[in-house]
Amino acid sequence: MITFDEIIKNEDIRTYITRADESLDALGYTEHSFAHVLHTARKAGYILETLGYDPRTVELCKIAAYLHDIGNLVNRSEHSQSGAIMAWSILHDMGCDPSEIATIVTAIGNHDEGTGVPVNAVSAAMILADKADVRRSRVRNRDTTNFDIHDRVNYSVTKSDLRINEDKTEIVLKLTIDTVYSSVLEYFEIFLERMLLCCKAAEKLGMKFRLVINDQPLL
């Protein structure tokens, strides 16, 4: 069986992630490199592990999360679909079991808020982990006078935490926003579609999604 450790040590995959992020950098996007994909993998694994899913499902979820943005190597447009095709080819060549490839590819192909649907637990956990990764360190542009709205919103987030409550009925994204750089309204302006997808993903896992910004519940 292919392991998460094998995937993160694979030099071909590392090259694809690096070059995909370079393309996004050229387009002015926030960081989508190893910090993002490893964060997404860890948090997606945490979600399924906390909910009692079996270790192999957790492992597949982490693999999918690590690979989820490689499609940006091809183009930002429809990157979830192109990433899914790339992942199929990589995993097939590595000798991964077809049923496990199917689970991973389905999750990758459904993670984008434009077209994605949380069709299973792996895709749901990955969506939540991916969309909750909002933080100052993802902003590449250090000249605050030239920030666009995406820079302002990400830079304004000084603290971010995604946690499942004790009775496992809610998954809560708690953000601390410095309103000097961005208002709460601007956060919703660019991330509302993502938050609605998180609501669907949480529902797929038998929970409700809650958003709390500066200690104020908003969803």
Residue range 156-182, pLDDT digits in tens: 999 999 999 999 999 999 999 999 999
Please name every residue paired with 177 in a beta bridge, in sequence order, or none if there are none: 157
Q: How far apart are CA 76 and CA 78, in angstroms?
A: 6
Q: How confident is the model at residue 219 (pLDDT cuts 50, 70, 90)?
A: confident
Q: Using an 8 Å Cβ cutoff, are 17 and 25 in contact?
A: no
What number is the average pLDDT over the span 137-151? Answer: 91
Q: Which residue has the tokens 């750089």?
A: 181
Q: Does residue 62 have a pLDDT over 90?
A: yes
Q: How many domains does the chain have?
A: 1
What number is the average pLDDT over the span 2-24? Answer: 97
- Collapsing DSSP to helix, strand or coil, 133 comes out as coil
Half-sphere exposure of 102 (CA within 13 A, CB side): 5
Among 127, 206, 122, 125, which Cα is nearest to 167's?
Answer: 206
What number is the average pLDDT over the span 23-46? Answer: 96
Q: Does residue 145 have a pLDDT over 90?
A: no
Q: Which residue has the tokens 């077209």?
A: 115
For residue 157, the domain's CATH number is 1.10.3210.10
Q: What is the pLDDT of residue 142?
A: 86
Residue 102 domain boundaries: 4-217
Q: Does residue 23 have a pLDDT over 90?
A: yes
Among 129, 118, 133, 160, which Cα is nearest to 63's?
Answer: 129
Tokens of 100: 């496990």
Tokens of 154: 């990400």
Residue range 63-120, pLDDT digits in tens: 999 999 999 999 999 999 999 999 999 999 999 999 999 999 999 999 999 899 999 9
